Amino acid sequence: EAQVTQNPRYLITVTGKKLTVTCSQNMNHEYMSWYRQDPGLGLRQIYYSMNVEVTDKGDVPEGYKVSRKEKRNFPLILESPSPNQTSLYFCASSLYPSGMDTEAFFGQGTRLTVV
């Protein structure tokens, strides 16, 4: 089954304690990205990756890191989480955004609370 898998689904952590949210896709997609979803703000892109070892900042990259060492995996790293990073996070993958017929596949989401 084609899917994007995120872990964990729920996470409560304390300010400053490093954490990683994993994302894996089994569709051999080149493009992967991370979003955060906040009420009234919709989906905002944090980072995206066009392929292995190629990453770039989205609209809200501050406080986050990513890496793309393998095509299937795209972890999101919060080196020193703060309460304003409390949010719902989604990983997505797709073929290279070539316009027509490009579909983004989303994971189930990770609900992060930083206290």
Q: Find the binder of another protein among 34, 64, 74, 90 (CB under 8 A).
A: 90
- Judged by CB, which is closer to another protein: 38, or 79? 38
Q: What is the pattern of x (binds another protein, CB under 8 A) and - over residues 27-46?
A: ------x-x----xxxxxx-
Task: Burial-class residue 87 by CB neighbours within 10 Å (0-12, 13-18, 19+).
Answer: buried
Block residue for tokens 């060492």:
69
Report if residue 103 touches another protein, rule: CB under 8 A. yes
Block residue for tokens 């770039």:
56
The answer to whether 91 and 107 are in contact (CB under 8 A) is yes
- The site for another protein (CB under 8 A) is made up of 4, 33, 35, 40-45, 48, 58, 90, 92, 94, 96-104, 106-109
